[in-house]
Structure 1
Amino acid sequence: MSHRHVMVTRSAKLSCRNSQLVIRQEDEITGEMCEYTIPLEDIRTLLLEDRQSIITSALLARLAEFRIAVFTCDDKHLPNGVLLPYGQHSRGPKIMRSQLDMKRPLVKRLWQAIVRRKIENQAACLALCGCSGEEGLLALANRVASGDKGSMESLAARMYFKHLFGKAFKRGSDDFINSAMNYGYALVRGQVARSLCAFGFQPSIGLQHHSELNNFNLADDLMEPYRPIVDYVVASELDVDSPVLSKLHKRRLMQILTQMVWLENERYDLTASIEAMVSSLSNAISTEDPSALQLPRLTEVQMGVYE
């Protein structure tokens, strides 16, 4: 099984040879041209942070064949796009028909389960960070109705961020905390979108998210319970007073994809847990049983980095 998440932070030329990723770039010390190779079968994600890097079309095609998600970054070095595999699942049309035929009550119950687990994970994040507010969030989680009719998700968010980062924190501000969280969220979102496409789902058709301008509405739905895992790493392991998001910070955020997480009663690394979650969504839809959807749970045990 693929397990490596490759991050290209300096100008390089990327190509493919004998089913291997070939990276050619200058050595930082000697200035000599060096070549590195990595088997494509070992790679899960490729993040291109340097905007001067060159990648061949042959490599892009092979990356798609191996179901490798390729991230691009904007001028602030934050992930802003992802290349995903297309039409790789043998039962793709069947999966898509089931997705399109979902009845509204099932959609609302699935969203209820997602919101409830997200708030439970937010409560766990506060507890692990030594912050107050856990009991209030758990009370809100118990009040999540079908389709989150009472908007417990938005109520929980206002309470959660105030306790985690202080009353002065504003989601969406251009600061270190928001940049770090957005970086981690983008990586998780890309992995969810990758798994959805590989499994045969149409990622633009969501449960709750339904923007006509968003090709990844379903990915945005399913990544919600993973957000507190990113928040926990930002709050507990990064220096939130840092002026900029450094390469070291980004490497740590990239490691979130290899964190060990609990999915029901089994332990997975985070990327594998996403694949299992997407598979369980197919089962939940085909059986019309929302309880079949398996969602990640944030616990103290899971937070060690998986080597």
Structure 2
Amino acid sequence: MGWKIVEIENADRLRLFLDNLVIYKEEDKIIIPINDIDTLIIDNVQINLSIHLINKLSENNVNVIICNEKHLPNTQLLPIIGNYNALKVLNKQLEWNHQYKSNLWKKLVVQKIDNQIEILSFFGYYNDNVKIMNDLKNEVKEYDITNREGHAAKIYWHTLFGREFNRRDEENPINKYLNYGYAILRSYFSKSIVKKGLDPRISIFHKSFHNHFALASDLMEVFRIIIDFEVIKIVEVEKMQKPWYESKQQLIELFNRRILVDGKEQFINNAIDLFLEAIIAERELPTLVFPMYEWN
């Protein structure tokens, strides 16, 4: 599998030719080997796709994301057959007991708050809020029954973007950037979850009749720092002066970055795979380091 992230906005139709993606725009065409594509983002509701192409993308485990008319990720294509050992992995997933899930969720929440503290420190927020978040991190209980995550998140967002900022406000442009990046991140986790043989609906913590990727919503928590970092740059450093298309490109391109997993550099998609492998094997979670100083 290659490392290319291909985003398509201006095209008439997409077709398959000899294991290649062919992009047609009027009289022009671009040919890209499917083996070179890691993620394909289609951001134009008028583009026509062939069934042959869809099947070939699925067979090659390409992460296909389709955006809606608001240019936000709306649909992900995942193969029905994900892993040769899927039944064994699924049975193990079904056996996750209360103790395992509560401990795992506690670790995820602690790591998430720790990452948020790191973000605040990196951007120079050395204040009482950081101290409060450190205290909250140390108070997390099993299953986070006292909702330290929620309290920390409120402090985190208010420190970054002011007390009036609300993550549920869909009209706020900051949330547009965050939601776009998180949707792509969730798709990476969903892809890896299916590939590893897990059922994305069987979660650790998140529960919703409408969320078919609840497990991805759980496990992506510690990786959100990647999106947060880039969005803060877009908002606070670049003052949202760039057009939406350029900022969106920044969010897409960050998935080509590397992070440290147990001291070794890994592309983000590899890091997610290793993270899931540890969870499936019920091992200690790998140590993740997000080298933000290298991302500027």
Superposition TM-score tier, normalisation by shorter sequence: over 0.9
| Alignment of 1:155 onto 2:151 | yes
- Aligned-partner residue type, residue 212 of structure 2: N
Q: Name the CA distance, whole Å, in 1 between partners of 2:228 and 2:82.
A: 32
Question: Percent same amino acid among aligned pairs?
Answer: 28
Give the match's secondary structure for 1:21: strand
Shift of 1:101: 0.8
State how 1:244-263 maps to structure 2 within 5 Å.
246-263=244-261
| Alignment of 1:223 onto 2:220 | yes
Q: Of residues 224, 240, 243 in structure 2, which corresponds to 1:242?
A: 240
- Aligned-partner residue type, residue 19 of structure 1: D
Greater relative contact order structure (CA < 8 Å, 6+ sep): 1
Aligned to 1:30: none
Query: What TM-score do the two structures reach when normalised by structure 1?
Result: 0.90
| Alignment of 1:175 onto 2:172 | yes
Give the match's secondary structure for 1:150: coil
Give the match's secondary structure for 1:144: coil
Q: Name the CA distance, whole Å, in 1 between partners of 2:196 and 2:266.
A: 18
Question: Which shows bigger deviation, 231-240 or 256-265?
Answer: 231-240
State how 1:54-93 maps to structure 2 within 5 Å.
54-93=48-87
Q: Of residues 269, 274, 277 in structure 1, which corresponds to 2:275?
A: 277
State how 1:280-299 maps to structure 2 within 5 Å.
280-284=278-282, 289=283, 292-294=284-286, 296-299=288-291
CA contact (8 A) 1:281 1:294 kept: no
| Alignment of 1:43 onto 2:31 | no
CA contact (8 A) 1:44 1:68 kept: yes
CA contact (8 A) 1:184 1:254 kept: yes
- Aligned-partner residue type, residue 136 of structure 1: I
Q: Name the CA distance, whole Å, in 2 between partners of 1:12 and 1:68.
A: 21
Q: Name the CA distance, whole Å, in 2 between partners of 1:261 and 1:130.
A: 22
Aligned to 2:160: 164
CA contact (8 A) 1:5 1:254 kept: yes
Deviations 1:153-177 (A, max 9, x none): 0010011001111222111221211
Q: Name the CA distance, whole Å, in 2 between partners of 1:145 and 1:2.
A: 41
Shift of 1:302: 5.0
Query: What TM-score do the two structures reach when normalised by structure 2?
Result: 0.93
Q: Name the CA distance, whole Å, in 2 between partners of 1:151 and 1:74.
A: 33
| Alignment of 1:142 onto 2:138 | yes
* Matched residue count: 292
